[in-house]
Structure 1
């Protein structure tokens, strides 16, 4: 009887341990995988980010009492005020607050007056030490959205194979060795609702409009329709390349 009681107490103790701190720990880097998965279906990038954002990545350090996030345009830092019933409140120095909580393998950002509820997954793709916040989301997005081999179906280099790397390198696309997708901010506001990317070679580059439809990727010239003293406004111009996913 005494042995059975001891075993019952041990099981209760172990069960309690299994559900504590580790299950509620929110430290680490969390990315908006839901938005990435939506984009990876092959549709417009901005639609996916707007539907499941606006925030793209959280970086949380519970020991230091710090939390920060990025929405692709601004990086916002706050302080953790402590945990209550598994929820952590993040104070952005009096201007606003967010609530974070573990939801199984997800980090849940509670809905607020300014933002909808959002879910984040732990980042899996490593980034270089010292990389800026948002780098984990960016690499995961680039891999899911543009990863693999693309054939140049039309345009300069026709028949060649293009590869967009997760770190922003591109090979096989004539006149470009690096690329960056526009996620938010000025580049988005200047593109008149279009998806846009930056292509450069040896540090010099230009803005381009792109259209993703399933396994096809059109890259078009970005034509500035604004006056000389106005903020640039880019419209889709002549198609430069049509790429097809292999």
Structure 2
């Protein structure tokens, strides 16, 4: 019952300004523009940087909650109605505006920077950030890749949207670097983590259309400095079938 009055007020405030019902905002929304740019381009890092910083929103109108993920950390906010749309208030006084434009969600930060999100097609029980990651993995690395150079030449490699990898000699798990420390340490390079039995290491990669090159990661920083990873010896060349 404690939500009835805020929701009624929200409906009244929004009724004259938009044709959308409050519940139309519910669900998980992903940054499809960043995914599309990554697939079309040659640099994952550049695509995520240009279309970030937020990659996913989760909105729960009934409980007046909204959360976002930037691929490294998450923020939880309180959802409320303002004169035109919705406002999400975070600790520290930061607030973002949310509105619907057709089937797309638009988020506007205090500086006026606007991002657009599409409703996720994945089940709604994925952890925050997981729906964007799943969609990115499907679009960016999905399908069959054949090793044309390196150990295991001739094998078919498959990267699953759950982080499993088969066909590469050694590793059985992977994760793309989206943001945070791994992006900083990558020094502008695209990087991924490969592991087996919870033991792994970062690698540098370059994807150009249907060709994926994976390089050993060489740390060029001094021992007392933050690692700065550069491409070393090329380990594998994969081509998409």
Query: What TM-score results when the alignment is normalised by the length of structure 2?
Result: 0.88
Shift of 1:84: 3.1
Does the 8 Å contact 1:79/1:93 carry over to 2? no
1:132: which partner in 2? 127
Does the 8 Å contact 2:95/2:109 carry over to 1? no
Shift of 1:53: 1.1
1:118: which partner in 2? 115
Shift of 1:94: 3.9
For residues 183 and 132 of structure 2, what CA distance do their matches in structure 1 show?
18
Gaps of 5+ in 1: 1-15
Residue-pair matches, total: 225
2:5: which partner in 1? none
2:13: which partner in 1? none
- 1:82-121 to structure 2, matched below 5 A, reads 82-85=81-84, 87-113=85-111, 116-121=113-118
SS of the residue 2:25 aligns to? coil
For residues 90 and 144 of structure 1, what CA distance do their matches in structure 2 show?
30
1:186: which partner in 2? 181
List per-residue Cα deviations over 1:63-87 (Å, max 9, x = no partner): 11111101112201110122533x1
Does the 8 Å contact 1:216/1:243 carry over to 2? yes
Does the 8 Å contact 1:39/1:45 carry over to 2? yes
Q: Does 1:76 align with 2:81?
A: no
- 1:148-163 to structure 2, matched below 5 A, reads 148-163=143-158
For residues 103 and 214 of structure 1, what CA distance do their matches in structure 2 show?
32
Gaps of 5+ in 2: 1-15
Q: Give runs of ≥4 in structure 1 deviating > 6 Å.
A: none
Query: What TM-score results when the alignment is normalised by the length of structure 1?
Result: 0.87
Does the 8 Å contact 2:20/2:100 carry over to 1? no
- In the alignment, which of 215, 221, 227 is matched to residue 226 of structure 1? 221
For residues 72 and 222 of structure 1, what CA distance do their matches in structure 2 show?
21
- Rg larger in structure: 1
